[in-house]
Amino acid sequence: MKIVEQFKAKRCVFSIECFPPKQTTQMEKLRGTLFAMKDLQPDFISVTFGAGGSAGGVSTVEVADLIQNELGIPALAHLICMGNDKTSAAKILDELEQVGVHDVLALRGDRTPNRPESPDFAHACDLTAFIKSYKPGFSVHGACYPEGHPEAENLRQDVENLCTKQAAGAEHLVTQLFFDNMHFYRFLNLARRAGITLPVSAGVMPIVKRSQIERTVALSSASLPSDFTRMISRWQDDPAALYEAGIDYAVRQLRDLIEGGADGVHLYAMNDAAVAKKVYDGIRDLL
């Protein structure tokens, strides 16, 4: 069953995100992590973009191949605009097709010093349209931002941009992580009123280490509700307590989303099978 078809068949689709190791020597560790995650029965696993090759890392294609063909779980491969042109994107799409992966999450990608702007894809909708034209049989998925993209003037403008992404061929949306569910419900209401009909998976990341806090918030631009900041203030100097409190916060957040009618929930597990299992144990009765 294709990933998009699962949203018609299930009340709430459960998925997990992983990322390729920076070194090929770490691939066996990731393999063990993914086989442990298989026990959680995710409906699909997404893989963030990793070019691999000369940099010494593992590519997205390698990990997607493992997920789809060894684990038997549908894989969703990320592909970004930054650093890619039509030629390099086509090569990656060909490689994905060769291993039987036909689901791609089209993203602009973060601007970094070692990733030049794409000459062909200014926005994710451009990459979406290219994938649909080059590989018509592929399903293209997109990202969305419950609090608005950091570069958008406001949330309404960002929702209008989503309409362009939908028109370009996107079939499903995954949100950036957030910590306050009210932002998600408000965003979803605006999106539906604007004509966005795609299923939306709500992305949640358990914060279980002090080192995650500033880095995660800086990268995501997510606002922090008072319940979350109180949790951090209370337990930030007690690693064991923060771990348990972070799991509990994510479980409560996910339970509310599932009971609130979310099409799907997407767990940003940071390649941590133990965290993923604890969170899954807290929501499995609702799935």
* Farthest-apart Cα atoms in the chain, separation: 52
Domain ranges of the chain: 10-286
Going by C-beta distance under 8 Å and a sequence separation of 6 or more, which residues neighbour residue 83? 51, 109, 114, 115, 116, 118
Evaluate if pTM is beyond 0.85: yes
User: Cα–chain-centroid distance for residue 137?
Assistant: 22
- In DSSP notation, 203-248 reads EE----SHHHHHHHHHHH-----HHHHHHHHHHTT-HHHHHHHHHH
Highest mean pLDDT among 200-214, 226-240, 270-284: 270-284
List the one residue out of 218, 182, 263 whose CA is nearest residue 7.
263
List the one residue out of 136, 140, 160 whose CA is nearest residue 149.
160
Mean pLDDT score across all residues of the chain: 94
Say how far apart CA 161 and CA 165 lie, in whole Å.
6
- Of the listed 5, 17, 147, 160, which one is catalytic? 17
Q: 60-119, pLDDT tens digit by residue?
A: 999 999 999 999 999 999 999 999 999 999 999 999 999 999 999 999 998 888 788 999
Q: 260-283, pLDDT tens digit by residue?
A: 999 999 999 999 999 999 999 999
One of 3.30.70.2190, 3.40.1010.10, 3.20.20.220, 3.40.50.800 is the CATH number of 10-286, namely: 3.20.20.220
Place of tokens 């989303």: 257
In the annotation, is 244 catalytic?
no
List the one residue out of 210, 201, 233, 22 whose CA is nearest residue 105.
201
The pLDDT of residue 98 is 98
